[in-house]
Amino acid sequence: MRGSQFAPVAIALTGCLLILPEARAGGALGGGFIEFLATGKSGDGQSPLRSAPLPGQAMPPIPLVQRAFAAPQPREPDVGAAVSPHRAIDPKFMRQEVDFHGPQPAGSVIVDTPNRFLYYVLEGGRAMRYGIGVGRPGFEWAGVKTVTRKAEWPEWTPPSEMLLRRPELPKHMAGGPENPLGARAMYLGSTLYRLHGTNEPWTIGQNVSSGCIRLMNEDVMDLYDRVKVGTKVTVI
């Protein structure tokens, strides 16, 4: 405007054009949010996005902008890995009889965790090999256990540690096709670990569990008929 002491200043704001008056030399824009948009400071030289300290606080709170874009806090991984149900199972994880030259006698079970195979030792230097799913990072383990119990279509009661991680899980689930333990389970010593089936066959060959060893249902049924209570299970 002719004779005006102000000249317009254009500022882009969220896709719109905001026209602000430009202060005369040495002047201010009245402070607050408008002056912050134009200059980066309010009338007192501070960002209006920073609140004043609360009584008793040594430092002011985190600015809203910084708070909005703060990195999310890490959370514990879910029980089970996110493996696509459309994933094809590698043929090497299909049940097959293979040569075996280990020191374990016939009737023993060996769990090869790194390679995700389970061997049931047969006579004459042979073994039945099954593809398995094993514990995900942080849930791996090794040792020698004994099968202390067997169950067909086992019920499932998640342990308290798992319920703390996943409070949405049921406290108990009857046996059946929807049960995550699958068609059969063989319990290892006094631990919470089992050799069991799964209703997620696409996870075989993966590091997916909370420490249990899972097999496809047809494989765990075959193994169940071979294994007896008292069978030694070596997990490596």
Domain ranges of the chain: 7-68, 91-235
Q: Which one has a higher pLDDT value, 26 or 209?
A: 209
At 120-137, the pLDDT tens digits run 999 999 999 999 999 999
Of 121, 116, 185, 111, the residue nearest 153 (C-alpha): 185
Asked about 16 being catalytic, the answer comes back as: no
Q: Is the pLDDT of residue 202 over 50?
A: yes
Which one, of 228, 203, 214, 232, lies nearest residue 130 by Cα?
A: 214
Options 3.40.30.10, 2.40.440.10, 3.10.200.10, 3.40.50.300; CATH for 91-235 is: 2.40.440.10
> For 159-224, what is the HEC assignment?
CHHHHHHCCCCCCCECCCCCCCCCCEEEEECCCCCEEECCCCHHHCCCEEECCCEECCHHHHHHHH
- Tens digit of each residue's pLDDT (9 = 90 or more) over 71-97: 333 323 334 445 666 678 899 999 999
What pLDDT score does 10 carry?
46
Query: Which residues are registered as beta bridge partners of 16?
Result: 13
- Burial classification of residue 67, based on how many CB atoms lie within 10 Å of its CB (0-12 exposed, 13-18 middle, 19 or more buried): exposed
Whether 236 contacts 110, CB under 8 Å:
yes
Q: What is the DSSP letter of 156?
A: B
Query: Residue 112 and residue 162: Cα distance in Å, rounded?
Result: 25
- Secondary element (H or E) of residue 6: none
CB contact at 8 A, 11 and 20: yes
Rounded-to-integer distance, Cα 145 and Cα 124, Å? 24
125 or 7: which carries more pLDDT confidence?
125
β-partners of residue 22 are 7
Question: Which residue has better confidence, 9 or 83?
Answer: 83
Distance of alpha carbon 198 from alpha carbon 215, whole angstroms: 6
Question: 135 forms bridges with which residues in the sheet?
Answer: 209
Q: Which tens digits make up the pLDDT trace of 26-55?
A: 444 445 444 444 455 445 544 444 444 455
Give the pLDDT of residue 130.
98
Q: What is the pLDDT of residue 195?
A: 98
Confidence band of 167 (pLDDT split at 50, 70, 90): confident
% the chain with pLDDT above 70: 64
State the average pLDDT over residues 157-186: 88
Residue-level pLDDT at 56: 54
**How many degrees, rounded to 5, is the angle at CA 233 between CA 231 and CA 236?**
170
Q: Identify the DSSP state of 76.
A: P
User: What are the structure tokens assigned to 123, written together?
Assistant: 């006579």
pLDDT score of 42: 47
User: Is the pLDDT at 65 greater than 50, yes or no?
Assistant: no
Dump the DSSP string for 89-148.
PPGGGS-EEEE---SPPTT-EEEETTTTEEEEE-SSSEEEEEE-BEEPTT----EEEEEE
